[in-house]
Amino acid sequence: MIARTLRLTALLTGFVLTAALLPSAPATRLPFQVGERLTFDAKVNSINAGKAYLAVEGIESVRGVGTLHTVFDVRGRVLFKKFANHYESWFDTTSLVTMRHLQKTDEVDKRYEFYPEKQIYIKNNDGIENPSVSMPLDEASFIYYLRTVPLEVGKTITVDRYYYAAKNPIQITVVRREKVKVPAGEFDAFVLKPVIKSKGLFSVQSDAEVWLANDRAHTLLKLRSKLPLGTLYLELRTIEQPD
CA separation for the pair 241, 140 (Å, rounded):
20
| Residue 7 domain flag | no
Residue 17 counted as domain residue = no
How many angstroms separate the most distant Cα atoms in the chain?
Answer: 81
Domains contained in the chain, number = 1
CB distance 105 to 84 below 8 Å: yes
Q: Which of 56, 240, 212, 192 is nearest to 147 (CA)?
A: 212
Distance from C-alpha of 140 to C-alpha of 228, rounded to nearest angstrom = 19
Residue 2 is assigned to a structural domain of this protein = no
Instruction: State how far the Cα of 227 lies from the Cα of 92, in Å rounded to an integer.
Output: 30
Identify the pLDDT of residue 82. Answer: 84
> Is 196 within the bounds of a domain?
yes
Domain for residue 206, yes or no? yes
pLDDT tens digit string along 111-128? Answer: 999 999 999 999 999 999
Would 166 be classed as within a structural domain?
yes
189-240 confidence digits (pLDDT tens): 999 999 999 988 999 999 999 999 999 999 999 999 998 888 999 999 999 9
What's the rounded Cα separation, in Å, for the pair 174 and 231?
Answer: 21
User: Is residue 15, in this structure, part of any structural domain at all?
Assistant: no
In one letter, which amino acid is 76?
G
pLDDT of the chain, 243 residues: tens digit per residue: 433 333 333 333 333 333 333 333 344 589 999 999 999 999 999 889 999 999 999 999 999 999 999 999 999 988 778 888 999 999 999 999 999 999 998 888 999 999 999 999 999 999 999 999 999 999 999 999 999 999 999 999 999 999 999 999 999 999 999 999 999 999 999 999 999 999 889 999 999 999 999 999 999 999 999 988 889 999 999 999 987
Separation CA 206–CA 225 (nearest Å): 5
SS3 168: coil
Residue 202 counted as domain residue: yes
Q: Which domain holds residue 99?
A: 24-240
Specify which residues 121 forms β-bridges with. 114, 130
User: Taking the mean position of all CA atoms in its chain, how far away is CA 142?
Assistant: 4
3: phi then psi, degrees, rounded to nearest 5: -65, -40
